Amino acid sequence: MFELGWVQVANPGISIAAGEIVAVEARTLGLWTLNLSRILETVDQPAQFGFLYSTTELHVEQGEERFILELNVPNGEVCYELEAISRPRQTLARLGFPLTRAFQHRFARGSHRRMLELVRGE
């Protein structure tokens, strides 16, 4: 869900477990940023999997994101939920607020598209 070309996980070998730090690299306007978030909760049930993380001081935004995959067992459909609540933390993110939001929306669209590709086996 993060491997979008312009966004990628910098530490893909981490465990999806509470307390782990997720490092996400993002290229925006030709610049790479490294954003760190801490996993707060995980969901690991037969028909549901995901996690909630909160940004750290080393993230351009301040907030939380939740990523959930859910299997509807009777019909075999898979749903992917991405929910984010944030506000700009760093000065450049605050100054470029409309652009910052545009990149967040671009990430959400790309993440949903990537998950659809993975579910379809592409």
Q: How high is the pLDDT of residue 75?
A: 93
Q: How high is the pLDDT of residue 63?
A: 96
**C-alpha of 121 from chain center:** 20
Distance CA 101, CA 72 (A): 31
Residues facing 48 on adjacent strands: 45, 70
Residue type, 13: G
Residue 103: pLDDT band by 50, 70, 90 thresholds? very high
The secondary structure element, H or E, covering residue 93 is helix 91-95
Contacts 24+ apart (CB under 8 A), 112-119: 112/80, 112/82, 114/1, 114/2, 114/3, 114/4, 115/1, 115/69, 115/80, 116/80, 118/1, 119/78, 119/80
Tens of pLDDT, residue by residue over 42-101, are: 999 999 999 999 999 999 899 999 999 999 999 988 899 999 999 988 888 888 888 989
What percent of the chain is modeled with pLDDT above 70?
Answer: 100
Q: How high is the pLDDT of residue 92?
A: 81
Across 4-26, average pLDDT: 96
Residue 112: pLDDT band by 50, 70, 90 thresholds? very high
**Could you tell me the pTM of the whole model?**
0.88
Q: How high is the pLDDT of residue 29?
A: 87
- Listed residue (80, 71, 65) closest to 114, CA to CA: 80
Q: Name the 3-class secondary structure at 1.
A: coil
